[in-house]
Amino acid sequence: MDQTASDALEAPFVQAFEQGNAGRQAIAAGSPPLLSITGLTVVVAGQPETRLLDAVQFELRKGEFFALVGESGSGKSVLCSTIMGVASSELKCLGDIHIEGRPLAEIDRRLRAMIYQQPSLYLNPVRNIGFQLRETVQMIGGLSKKEASERAADLLCDVGIDDPKETMRKYPHEMSGGMNQRVMIAMALAMKPKLLIADEPTSALDVTTQKQILDLLERLRSDMAILFVTHDLGVALQRSDRIGVLYAGQLVEIGRADLVARTPLHPYTRALFSAVPPLSRHPRRLHSPAGTLPEPTQRQAGCNFASRCSGTLDICRHIAPVLQGTPQQVVACHNLEP
Amino acid sequence: MRRNAHKVFASKIARALVTLVLMVTSVFILMRCAGDPVTVLLGPDATPDMRAAYSGELGLDRPILAQYLAYLHNVVRGSLGVSYVYRQDALGVVLSHLPLTLILTCCALTLAGVTGIAGGIAAAVFPASIVGRASTIASVVGVCVPSFFLAIVLMLVFSIHLNWLPTGGAESWRNLVLPAVTMAAASSAVLARYTRVAVRESLDSRYVLAAFARGIPFRRILIHHVLPNAAAPILTILGLLIGGAVTGSTVVETVFSWPGIGNLFVTSVGSRDVPVVQAIVLLAGTAMIMTNLAVDLGYTWLDPRSKSSET
């Protein structure tokens, strides 16, 4: 095990976790899962070997803030669009996604909502905010135009926009990224979702706005589960209850945020954490995991991380590891001896 | 915001006026370059006395700037000289041919607009369906086939073989069908291609994906999200087609002997009826500039971004 790297670099994360701990809620462990994903495999249609997601499996409970981390190309966005039911028609999904115990195909679309990394691209540029919000509200509630306007204004107030009437007359290009993200969140809330998928909702925003948006999500989470996709480990640790690490389409580690921060078990998780430069001193070189993410077309039998791992065993090259461990932390790795 | 919009409007109108003046000036310069009108009018055998007398009568012996100002004055008053052939006011001659051209182009453009935009949308929304494929193929063929060829094919089939429709003239609505269809074909094909690209681009955009994810029905997305975004490029092409229709009908009018402006243009060039040619050029140019202005103003209405992006 690469002990030095994890020892030296964990401290700021544990600290970040403890800072965020105050707002954390106890998640009722016994309640049935809100979202449960079992054996989700997504392949490119006609190429069954090209797996964008491979046997992904996890559960989310009401009120939970689940952070999904992973580098670009690891399949985070594919997972989000698959859960939302808007994945490209060129992809084929195998496995089960259940929300509140019912399969995805049967449930009402409004149980889940999604916000995105660049909100300005996801708002129609030639329609004003009021039109887009009202449309969503009307579709949900069958309200009259006037009622829908009032409801839309209420929603904008809920997400911290002070002058909803004025904002509803504006177009997306007249507003900042943070304001557009608030509008996206308001639009998501209009559906009264049980599951909110947030695909890097703060990556394109400045730090102050980022904090406001995160606080807003924090405030909203009591009524729903949040699947928060990010590559900002600090944010993931500070805000989330649990963290899932996605590597090359596979969840390699899932665990309570504090446990993952203190004792990352998977070598990839350790590599991810060591790639974050510490604030306290100037690093001479920035760490980055050696090698690159294998392309979906070039993945072979065995562990996907084997080619970049320092502790590769013979078995790693032939048999893919499965998730195992305690209820608090599971990991998919053959080489777990300390 | 509102103030900015007024500014944009004013600057667009000012630009259109400048273009108009430039066009009027170019026509003046081109007319002077086209050869000495006295030689053209009197022939090579005229005596110097005759030439001098005629030059004085036409004002051609005055300095060029004075001639230009006099010409501008006449253009503003709408008097563009007397037609050599018709012995009438040139503008009046042109305007008397205008209604027939307007009828033809209105019919052709309405037909082209409806079929082109509908075909383009079908091709973008259902690219794999029979309607979508047919529309794509038809638009490629329509762009490639020149209108004089299509005109002759239509004439052969519908006038000569089937004997349903007349080959030319302008007596009744039956005379209108073939020229209108011929003219519409090319415009419709161009429109369909641009519509398909614009609608496809909008369908592939992130805001449409987000609207799908919110569960908004496809029909509503198409009408309220996709089409308003695709409208700007469609409007551009439509503007060019309308602006060019006055002169664009020349070939079709000639082939079908439709007595409109295009036909008049060809005969006037043949008979060196300079005032009439000049009036048609000015009219066609003005039509082009005006439709472009209308399109520009249309943008600001269709796309709120264009109000703030241009100053």
Span B253-275, mean pLDDT?
Answer: 83
Same domain, A238 and A90: yes
If asked whether residues A17 and A132 sit together in one domain, one would say no
Of the candidates B250, B280, B276, the one whose C-alpha atom is nearest the C-alpha of residue B262 is B250
Domain of residue A149, residue span: 118-193
Burial group, residue B306, by CB count within 10 angstroms (0-12, 13-18, 19+): middle
Tokens in use for B50?
A: 């005759």
SS3 B241: helix
ipTM attached to this prediction: 0.79
Per the CB < 8 A criterion, the answer to whether B226 and A148 are in contact is no
Q: Is the pLDDT of residue A3 over 50?
A: no
Residue whose structure tokens are 């004439």: B155
Is residue A200 domain-shared with residue A286, that is, in the same domain?
Answer: yes
Q: What is the pLDDT of residues B66-89, one digit of tens each?
A: 888 888 888 888 787 777 777 788
What is d(CA A229, CA B17) in angstroms, rounded to the nearest whole number? 55
B74-to-A281, B58, B95, B97, B286 alpha-carbon distances in Å: 82, 13, 17, 21, 16
Residue A105 lies in a domain: no
Do residue A126 and residue B207 have CB atoms under 8 angstroms apart? no
- Token pair of B220 as six digits: 């509503």
How far A10 CA sits from the closest chain B CA (Å)?
Answer: 37
DSSP assignment letter at B155: I
With a cut of 90, say whether residue B114 has pLDDT above it.
yes
Question: What does the buried/exposed string (b/e) look like for B106-143 if buried means 16 or more CB atoms within 10 Å of the residue's CB?
Answer: ebbbebbbebbbbbbbbbbbeeeeeebeebbebbeebe
- Any residues with CB less than 8 A from the CB of B269 and at least 6 apart, and which? B277
Confidence at residue B115, expressed as pLDDT on a 0 to 100 scale: 92
Of B210, B215, B224, the CB nearest to A110: B215
Under an 8 A CB cutoff, do B206 and A191 touch? no
Q: Which DSSP category does A74 fall into?
A: S
For residues A183 and A265, membership in a common domain is answered with no
- Write the burial class of residue A115 (CB in 10 Å: 0-12 exposed, 13-18 middle, 19+ buried): buried
Query: What is the 8-class DSSP label of residue B168?
Result: S
B212–chain A Cβ distance below 8 A for any pair: yes
pLDDT per residue as tens digits for the range B165-202: 777 777 777 788 888 888 888 889 999 999 999 999 99
Residues whose CB is less than 8 angstroms from the CB of residue A13 and which lie 6 or more positions away in sequence, other chains included:
A233, A234, A237, A261, A273, A276
Q: Is residue A188 part of a domain?
A: yes
Q: What is the CATH number of the domain that holds A9?
A: 3.40.50.300
- Among A124, A127, A187, A189, the residue to mutate for chain B (most B Cβ within 10 A): A124
In this structure, is residue A158 part of a structural domain? yes
Q: Is B56 on the interface with A (CB under 8 A)?
A: no
Q: List all residues of chain B from 119 to 138 with a beta carbon under 8 Å from chain A.
A: none
* A336 within a domain of the structure (yes/no): no
Closest Cα in chain A to B227: A126
Q: Hey, is the C-beta of B210 within 8 angstroms of any chain A C-beta? A: yes
User: Looking at the predicted structure, is the pLDDT value of residue A20 above 60?
Assistant: no
- Identify from B2, B201, B206, B214 which residue to disrupt to test chain A contact, counting A C-beta atoms within 10 A and taking the largest count: B214
How much is the pLDDT for A12? 53
In this structure, is residue A106 part of a structural domain?
no
Same domain, A10 and A140: no
B303 reaches A (C-beta below 8 A): yes
Asked if residues A86 and B213 have their Cβ atoms less than 8 Å apart, the reply is yes
Contact flag B214-A86 (C-beta cutoff 8 Å)? no
pLDDT tens for B115-154 read 999 999 999 988 888 888 888 888 888 888 888 888 888 8
Nearest CA in chain A to B220: A135
Residues A186 and A245 in one domain: no
Do A49 and A188 have their domain in common? no
**Among B206, B212, B302, beta carbon nearest to A126:** B302
Out of A164, A193, A222, a domain closes at A193
pLDDT tens digits, one per residue of B249-263? 888 888 888 888 888
* A95 within domain boundaries: yes
Given a contact cutoff of 8 angstroms between Cβ atoms, the answer to whether A206 and A237 are in contact is no
**Which residue of A lies nearest to B224 if distances are taken between CA atoms?**
A127
pLDDT of A269 over the 50 cut: yes
Pair A276, A140 in one domain: no
The secondary structure of chain A in percent helix, strand, coil, rounded to multiples of 5, reads 40, 20, 40
**Chain A neighbors of B128, CB-CB under 8 A:** none
Contact between A124 and B211 under an 8 Å Cβ cutoff? The reply is yes
CB A330 within 8 A of CB A319: no
Of B184, B138, B283, B226, whose CA–CA distance to A126 is shortest?
B226
Candidates B1, B199, B201, B206: best to mutate against A (most CBs of A within 10 A) is B206
Chain B residues whose CB is inside 8 A of the A122 CB are 206-207, 209-210
Q: What is the pLDDT, as a whole number, of residue B65?
A: 85
CA distance A114 to B214: 8
Structure-block tokens of residue B197: 């690209």
In this prediction, residue A318 carries a pLDDT of 83
Structure tokens at A324: 């195992």
Say if strands A250-256 and A329-331 run parallel, antiparallel, or are unpaired.
Answer: antiparallel
Residue that is last in its domain, among A128, A163, A193: A193
Within 8 A of A171 by CB-CB distance, chain B residues are 304-305
Task: Output the CA torsion B294→B297→B299→B303 (10° steps).
Answer: -150
**Amino acid residing at A91:** L
B205/A191 CB distance under 8 A: no
Residue that has been written with the tokens 């954490």 in this structure? A273
Asked if the Cβ–Cβ distance from A121 to B211 is below 8 Å, we say: no
Burial B82-96 (b: 16+ CB within 10 A, else e): bbbbbeebbbebbee
Number of domains in chain A: 2
> CA-CA distance, B70 to B267, in Å (whole number)?
28
Q: What separation, in Å, do the N-terminal and C-terminal C-alpha atoms of chain A show?
A: 6
Query: Does the distance separating the beta carbons of B212 and A126 come in below 8 Å?
Result: no
Contacts of residue B298 in chain A, CB cutoff 8 Å?
Answer: none
Contact B213 A136 (CB under 8 A): no
How far is the C-alpha of B272 from the C-alpha of B191, rounded, in Å?
36
For residue B201, the Cα-to-chain-centroid distance in whole angstroms is: 27
Q: pLDDT: is A282 or B100 the higher one?
A: B100
- As a whole number, the mean pLDDT across chain B is 83
What residues have CB less than 8 Å from A15, skipping those under 6 apart? Answer: none
CA distance A225 to chain B (A): 17
CB pair distance less than 8 Å for A125 and B207: yes
Residues of B in contact with A191 (CB under 8 A): 214-215
| A226 and A122 together in one domain | no
Is the residue at A109 inside a domain?
no
Under an 8 A CB cutoff, do B225 and A124 touch? yes
CB contact under 8 A, B228 and A126: yes
**Region B57-71 average pLDDT:** 79
pLDDT level of residue B53 (50, 70, 90 thresholds) = confident
Residue with tokens 């011929």: B182
Nearest C-alpha of chain B: how many angstroms from A98?
A: 17
| Phi, psi of A313, rounded to the nearest 5 degrees | -105, 170
- DSSP letters, B15-48, are HHHHHHHHHHHHHHHHHHHT--HHHHHH-TT--H
**Closest-CA residue to B209 (of A104, A115, A51, A194):** A115
> Is the dihedral angle over the CA atoms B188, B193, B196, B198 positive or is it negative?
negative
Of A180, A181, A159, A161, the C-alpha closest to A171 is: A180
How many Å apart are CA A97 and CA A104, to the nearest integer? 6
B34–chain A Cβ distance below 8 A for any pair: no
Q: Is the pLDDT of residue B52 over 90?
A: no
A203 and A153 within one domain:
no
Q: Do A126 and B206 touch (CB under 8 A)?
A: no
The average pLDDT across A61-82 equals 87
Task: Give A-chain residues touching B213 at CB under 8 angstroms.
Answer: 84-86, 113-114
Give Rg (Cα) of chain A. 21
Residue from the list B207, B212, B308 with its beta carbon closest to the beta carbon of A124: B207
pLDDT over 70 (residue A29): no
Residue A292, pLDDT above cutoff 50 = yes
The whole-angstrom distance between A16's CA and the closest CA on chain B is 33
CA distance A238 to A20: 5
Mean pLDDT score, A254-274? 86
Higher pLDDT, B40 or A252: A252
Is pLDDT at A293 greater than 80 in this prediction? no
Res A68: pLDDT:
92
Across the interface, do A114 and B210 touch by the CB < 8 Å criterion? yes
Residue A66 is predicted with a pLDDT of: 92
CB-nearest to B213 from A84, A128, A173 is A84
How many Å apart are CA A22 and CA B25, to the nearest integer? 77
Token look-up 């503008």 returns B91
Residue B12 CB contacts under 8 Å (≥ 6 apart), including other chains: B293, B296, B297
pLDDT-based confidence at residue A19 (cuts at 50, 70, 90):
low
CA distances from A231 to A77, A200, A228, A241 (A): 12, 8, 10, 16
pLDDT over 70, % of chain B: 93
Name the percent of chain A lying above pLDDT 90: 5
Q: Do A135 and B220 touch (CB under 8 A)?
A: yes
Q: What confidence score (pLDDT) does residue B40 get?
A: 67
User: What is the sign of the dihedral through the CA atoms of B245, B248, B253 and B255?
Assistant: negative
Confidence of residue B307 (pLDDT cuts 50, 70, 90): low
Q: Which residues of B touch A123 (CB under 8 A)?
A: 207, 210
* B217 neighbourhood in chain A, CB within 8 Å: 139
The mean pLDDT of chain A is 81
CB pairs under 8 A between A and B: 66
pLDDT in tens, B7-51: 778 888 898 889 888 988 888 888 777 666 677 667 777 788 887
Residue A245 lies in a domain: yes
pLDDT one-digit tens code per residue, A115-158:
988 888 999 888 889 888 888 888 877 788 888 888 889 888 88
Is residue A273 scored above 90 in pLDDT? no
* Residue B44, token pair as written in the block: 């090579």
pLDDT tier at A279 (50, 70, 90 boundaries)? low
Domain match, A135 and A275 both: no
Look at residues A193, A227, A257 and tell me which one is the last residue of a structural domain. Answer: A193
Q: Are residues A254 and A209 in the same domain?
A: yes
The answer for B81, left when phi > 0, alpha when psi is -120 to 50, beta otherwise, is: left
